[in-house]
Structure 1
Amino acid sequence: MDSIGTIVIAMGNDDVLGEYTCTPYNQLRHPGGVRPHPRHFKGPPQVSHQACPSVPAGGGPGTEHQLHGHRAAEARINWTKEGDTRPRQFQVLEDGTLFFRSIRKEHHGTWVCKARDNLTEISTSTTVWVTGTSPHAVTNLTVRPDVFAVNVSWEPGFDGGHPQQFTVWFRQTSHGPHDWIIHMVPDGDHRLSVDHLWPNTSYQFSVLAQSDRGSGPFSQIINTHTLCVPTATATPRRPPAPSERARPLLPPSNLAANRTAGGIVLRWAPPPAPSLLPLAYVLEYRGGPGAWEVLHSAIPAQQDRLLLTGLVKVRGHGFVGWHCGRGGREGKRGGRSGRG
């Protein structure tokens, strides 16, 4: 209290809450005849734990739903959806209740309840679960490129109360426009390795979630670029043994081509014995009787199939030929081993 009788509270907390009276005294410490005037100090607004409970909107879209609130008499209640600045179809009633006249898929998520009076503001949050809808978009989509493949992973969004499946959509963006290619994801998996891609090539990837209630929105589109084929280092090599000098380097065998919805799938078998093992394969093609051109110059020797996409039918010719040769220790060029 200062010299003129004013009470000053430097820090307000629970200890100062209560009722205060002011009584005047004279110099002889006799109380004055003035009637004491009570003064009341109030704490900050309070929101009970039941004000924003986590409850499912089990009725599904199109039904009424409300989150009952409780507040102090002078407190003002405001509800907002976390991470969303767009206006939503909801009401805040006079008692602080969050009211949805027609619950919708967009209402799913975390809602923040704020109570404010003249002293301070407090907040709490709850999650509204809207079931019976199509899945929500996946999050945290990640792509990790390799030379001939891209590893895609993601975190599933809310499934709307029904089992959901995922498909990975991708397309090549280098060398002209290309259609989207769809790969199904095995049930329960949240990652997929997309193989048989071109090295040093740009691609786009997106993931779609679906259920028996429909398709959710596509995830964001991520651009990536496959890695270049590593350059072999020139290391000293031992002279070939006499037995190796006598062994030929034969081309692969049983080259076959199958048309699929995603493109042409080529399959082949490794060179038969007694051939040396190749270091890599070279794929050449031609449309009609023209010269052979290199389509793929570095197919790993461990690979026995390849998906060809974006092929265009050659007018005036009834076939397109593929020539799969081998690159080996002796550096020879292989002959034609098949045609599709």
Structure 2
Amino acid sequence: MLYVKEGIVFRKVPCHVFFNYYYYLDSAPPSFTATPPQYVEAKEGGSTLLGCSAQGNPKPMISWLREGEELASNSKYSVHDGSLTILGITRDDRGAYTCRAYSDQGEVLHTTRLLVQGPPYIVSPPENVTVNISQNARFNCKAEAYPGNLTYTWFWEEDNVFFKNDLKLRVRIFVDGTLKIFQVKPEDAGKYTCSPSNSLGISPSASAYLTVQYPARVINMPPVIYVPRKLPGIIRCPVDANPPVTSVKWEKDGYTLRVEKYPGWSLMPDGSIRVAEATEDSLGTYTCVPYNALGTMGMSPPATLVLKDPPYFNVRPGGEYRQEAGRELVIPCAASGDPDIPTITWRKVGKPSRSKHNILPSGSLQFLSLSKEDHGEWECVATNVVTSITASTRILVIGTSPHAPGNIHVLPSTTTANVSWEPGYDGGFEQTFSVWSKRTDFGPHDWHSMPVSGAQTWLVVPGLEPGTEYQFSVLAQNKLGTGPFSEVVTVTTAGSPLGTAEPLVLLTPPRCLTANRTQHGVLLTWLPPANHSSPIDRYIMEFRLGEKWEVLDDLIPSTETELVARDLVQESWYEFRVIAVMDDLISESSNVVGVSSTGQGSYTAMLCPL
């Protein structure tokens, strides 16, 4: 007979028929006394406790398993006294967790499934679909979530598919999230987005694109085609096709049009006809039939060609306008034409202007505050149904720093490089130039500069190493400051001829000199020469008010990289440069910087080309 007490098993054994029973202690396998429910729900981002206890003799050990792997305490799990706490619950924590009670008498297992409450997760997003016109299209979208009361919403571009007038009658959303579009039209092409929801959290979304292929078709063929008299014109066939158009056939007055038989006529890649000079021979009724790989949807409606005089300018802009920066500038332009009044637009040739400008009702171009970016060529464009005409003008913005030099050319030799350039606009003041160079493998602060004398637009840079790659840039400067650096040109010097000696290593100049006006004077700062092998002995600071350079201080310690220039002549323009001295070597001068000694017009030169 067995007797169990507090998990320990006793067995009653008769020792003698005349004596009472004796009790002998026996072992017992593990058994659970408490387990978590078979299913446990927890919210995403929260935590949950799974409690587990067991009895047996000897007392069983308890561990927790997930997918066969034993769990240990860490930032995600806390295992203590048979209980498992799951922290910072995410969707990935869902699944089975097993409590294992074991001893040398055996083991027992209990599995609990964690259900994580949260927004849906798309496990099978939609994929791009290509169909032909009139076929059906299907997008699949599958999501998982708990609770699983999923609803699917589909969008075309940004609109619900049931809010798009023509599309809403031809779509169906199935319970499994599938979107089906019946009798697809070309207008149905675009981005479709699936968004599942279970009313928890933020609904995810996934998108795919529908491509609709269809035969070439003519859209919006005008009943009248206007072509300018005695000017080049275009007879267009407005085509829509996917895949693209491969050919266009034309008829004129009901007969096949052979474009090659008309002098000056040619067929453009899009199927339109280019007319070199429209004359009375061009008059007639035109139709076109476009084709692609899928065929054609038919002939266009007939269009009658009418010759009209092109629009003309009543008021043309002047050839050139000079105005100071910050001032207002109005440039007139007006045009007339038949059958309708031309529309006036303005455009900047080359790089578009980002400054604010207006086109007045009269067609004039207005700048309320002219800026440096407005400098350059502008065109007034007059457009009506016949054609477009243009009139050009040039704006010179006075009172700015120089524009960047252009057309940089570098001709290298073994130890020198001849740098040439074309000056940019000077901003209305005399400009000077400096050439900046550095080895390509040196850092961004290792540029050094050489001033250019007078109006010279070239400079020979000496002291280069053979067979080495260098970078060059040109900087312009006037009394208002420095302009932007030119483009950076990279070249490689020629290698040393066999048997020649290595070139002399020169002391490079101090770098990145800057000037800033302070209450105590002009603060000049610079960087030491790059890559010098021996210590610098001293620096020499020079200045000039006119053409002649003078010494400001020739005993600047090598440990100093700044100097305050005091007692400057009022209302004067100063320029500064610094030179390094090492042993018997004297470097070339640094870049030149300028500053006004008055309260206005001070500037700091740019440090290095970018």
TM-score by length of 2: 0.33
- Residue identity matched to 1:83: G
CA distance in 2, matches of 1:130, 1:42: 39
Structure 1 residue 170 displacement after superposition: 0.6
Once the two structures are superposed, the pairs formed by residues 189-228 of structure 1 within 5 Å of their partners are: 189-228=456-495
1:146 maps to what in 2?
A: 413
1:52 maps to what in 2?
A: 317
CA distance in 1, matches of 2:227, 2:395: 41
Q: Is the 8 A contact 2:436 2:448 kept in 1?
A: yes
Pair 1:122 & 2:389 matched? yes
Q: Is the 8 A contact 1:56 1:131 kept in 2?
A: no
Q: Is the 8 A contact 1:57 1:65 kept in 2?
A: no
Counterpart pick for 2:357 among 90, 94, 99: 90
For residues 226-261 of structure 1, what are the alpha-carbon distances to aligned partners after superposition, in whole Å with 9 as ceiling and x for unaligned? 11012369xxxxxxxxxxxxxxxxxxxxxxx99673
Q: Is the 8 A contact 1:51 1:67 kept in 2?
A: no
- Residue identity matched to 1:226: T
1:71 maps to what in 2?
A: 335
1:179 maps to what in 2?
A: 446
1:31 maps to what in 2?
A: none
Gap change, CA 1:157 and 1:258, over 3 Å in 2: closer
CA distance in 1, matches of 2:349, 2:401: 21
RMSD over aligned CA atoms reads 3.5
1:61 maps to what in 2?
A: 325
Pair 1:43 & 2:306 matched? no
- Residue identity matched to 1:67: I
Structure 1 residue 174 displacement after superposition: 3.6
CA distance in 2, matches of 1:208, 1:126: 28
Once the two structures are superposed, the pairs formed by residues 29-40 of structure 1 within 5 Å of their partners are: none
SS of residue matched to 1:154: strand
Q: Is the 8 A contact 1:185 1:192 kept in 2?
A: yes
SS of residue matched to 1:47: strand
Structure 1 residue 54 displacement after superposition: 2.4
CA distance in 2, matches of 1:142, 1:46: 43
Gap change, CA 1:226 and 1:10, over 3 Å in 2: closer
CA distance in 2, matches of 1:183, 1:52: 42
For residues 196-243 of structure 1, what are the alpha-carbon distances to aligned partners after superposition, in whole Å with 9 as ceiling and x for unaligned? 11101111110000000111000011111111012369xxxxxxxxxx
Structure 1 residue 86 displacement after superposition: 5.0
Q: Is the 8 A contact 1:82 1:109 kept in 2?
A: yes
SS of residue matched to 2:391: strand
Gap change, CA 1:68 and 1:12, over 3 Å in 2: closer
1:81 maps to what in 2?
A: 348
Q: Is the 8 A contact 1:114 1:124 kept in 2?
A: yes
CA distance in 2, matches of 1:228, 1:161: 43
Q: Is the 8 A contact 1:171 1:178 kept in 2?
A: no
Structure 1 residue 177 displacement after superposition: 7.1
2:509 maps to what in 1?
A: 261
CA distance in 1, matches of 2:492, 2:507: 26
Pair 1:158 & 2:425 matched? yes
Q: Is the 8 A contact 2:228 2:309 kept in 1?
A: no
Once the two structures are superposed, the pairs formed by residues 132-143 of structure 1 within 5 Å of their partners are: 132-143=399-410
Q: Is the 8 A contact 2:228 2:386 kept in 1?
A: no
SS of residue matched to 2:378: strand
CA distance in 1, matches of 2:227, 2:392: 31
CA distance in 1, matches of 2:279, 2:465: 73
SS of residue matched to 2:373: helix
CA distance in 2, matches of 1:216, 1:116: 37
Q: Is the 8 A contact 2:227 2:386 kept in 1?
A: no
Q: Which runs of 5+ in 2 are unaligned?
A: 1-224, 232-277, 281-305, 512-528, 536-582, 586-610
CA distance in 1, matches of 2:533, 2:482: 32
Gap change, CA 1:310 and 1:71, over 3 Å in 2: same
Gap change, CA 1:79 and 1:94, over 3 Å in 2: same
Structure 1 residue 311 displacement after superposition: 1.6
For residues 51-71 of structure 1, what are the alpha-carbon distances to aligned partners after superposition, in whole Å with 9 as ceiling and x for unaligned? 22123333x111111101121
Q: Is the 8 A contact 1:71 1:95 kept in 2?
A: no
Gap change, CA 1:260 and 1:139, over 3 Å in 2: closer
Quick check: which one's strand share is greater? 2
Gap change, CA 1:10 and 1:85, over 3 Å in 2: closer
Q: Is the 8 A contact 1:178 1:310 kept in 2?
A: no
CA distance in 2, matches of 1:180, 1:159: 24
SS of residue matched to 1:106: helix
CA distance in 1, matches of 2:227, 2:325: 52
2:531 maps to what in 1?
A: 310
Q: Bigger radius of gyration, 1 or 2?
A: 2
Gap change, CA 1:10 and 1:223, over 3 Å in 2: closer
Gap change, CA 1:176 and 1:312, over 3 Å in 2: farther
Q: Is the 8 A contact 2:227 2:387 kept in 1?
A: no
Gap change, CA 1:77 and 1:197, over 3 Å in 2: same
2:547 maps to what in 1?
A: none
For residues 152-205 of structure 1, what are the alpha-carbon distances to aligned partners after superposition, in whole Å with 9 as ceiling and x for unaligned? 000000101100000001111247777111100011100000011110111111
**Higher normalized contact order (CA 8 Å, seq sep 6+, divided by chain length):** 1
Gap change, CA 1:231 and 1:177, over 3 Å in 2: farther
Q: Is the 8 A contact 2:226 2:385 kept in 1?
A: no
